[in-house]
Amino acid sequence: MKHWHTIGVGLVCFALGTAVTALAQKKNDKPTFSTEMIQGKDPKAAATALLDGALTLAGNGSWERIAVGRAWYLGGDKIKGQQIFDGVTTSKKVEASDWFRVARVYLEAKEWDKAQGAFDKALAADPGDDTGTIEYGGWANVHNDRAKAEALFTKIMTTKKGGDFWHWVNAGGSYLGVGPQ
């Protein structure tokens, strides 16, 4: 009986040692910056080295991954940026805030149709988001969709959340062509 006990303890120790080693190696997988990554490199090669490192550091963080996708998307590689966005937005853990961040990238890229689709998904994921609703309404107004803007403004401004200072500023500014902040 003692023989089996010793073998069992040995197997448990081996398993724990393997797990600790795997965790230690995973923590050491962080990229390390070196000047060789950027010095003398063409801008795309330098960007690739840094953004690949950033994506590794991002891990499963959706906002961080979207930030890397934003750099690629706005930097001219829309395919690579979109792949990162799709990886985040097709995740089972996608949240309304992820959709809002992607929508803002599309706004920066002057792609209102894509931004509008992302805003719609954000509000579907969190229909009670008063700040997001006002933001979407403001951008709709700036992009000449006054009917949508006013429907979104009315949805929030007629509730107790309608007294928020920033809601008034963002809705009002949109009638002057000023996007929400």
Which pLDDT tens digit goes with each residue over 166-178? 999 999 999 999 9
Q: What is the pTM of this model?
A: 0.81
C-alpha to C-alpha distance for 177 and 181, rounded to whole angstroms: 12
Q: What is the pLDDT of residue 29?
A: 80
Q: Tens digit of pLDDT for each residue in 7-36?
A: 555 445 455 555 544 554 455 589 999 899
Contacting residues for 167 by C-beta, under 8 A, at least 6 apart:
130, 131, 134, 156, 157, 161
Instruction: Select the more confidently predicted residue: 20 or 140.
Output: 140
Tokens of 176: 């002057």
Q: Quote the tokens at residue 37.
A: 């990554």
pLDDT, residue 34, reads 87
The share of the chain scoring above pLDDT 90, in percent, equals 82
Q: Kindly report the backbone phi and psi dihedral angles of residue 75, in degrees, each rounded to the nearest multiple of 5, phi listed first.
A: -85, 0
Beta carbons of 66 and 101 less than 8 angstroms apart: yes
Q: What is the mean pLDDT of residues 74-85?
A: 97
Q: pLDDT at position 142, please?
A: 98
Please state, in angstroms and as integers, the Cα–Cα distance from residue 71 to each residue in 33, 55, 58, 85, 135, following that order.
18, 11, 14, 11, 22
